[in-house]
Amino acid sequence: MIAIAVLLIASNEYLFFTSLGFILIYAAAFMSVWSMIHYLKQAWPQLMGNGD
């Protein structure tokens, strides 16, 4: 959410804030994918019917 606000507020003159916004967007995307993989690893036995 912060990344979106930074990108909306920052204009092209403020390269630092634009870069910061993009870095935060990429970090959020990476953490989302990492979290999905982590949860799928935990749920995989039950998804395949091998759970307790």
pLDDT of residue 40: 96
Q: Which of 7, 9, 8 is nearest to 26 (CA)?
A: 7
Number of compact structural domains in the chain = 1
pLDDT of residue 52: 62
User: What pTM does this model have?
Assistant: 0.74
* 39 within some domain: yes
**φ and ψ at 12, to 5 degrees?**
-65, -20
> What mean pLDDT comes out for the span 8-33?
90
pLDDT of residue 50: 77
What is the domain range of residue 10? 2-47
* 52 within some domain: no
pLDDT of residue 11: 76
pLDDT one-digit tens code per residue, 21-52: 999 999 999 999 999 999 999 999 998 987 66
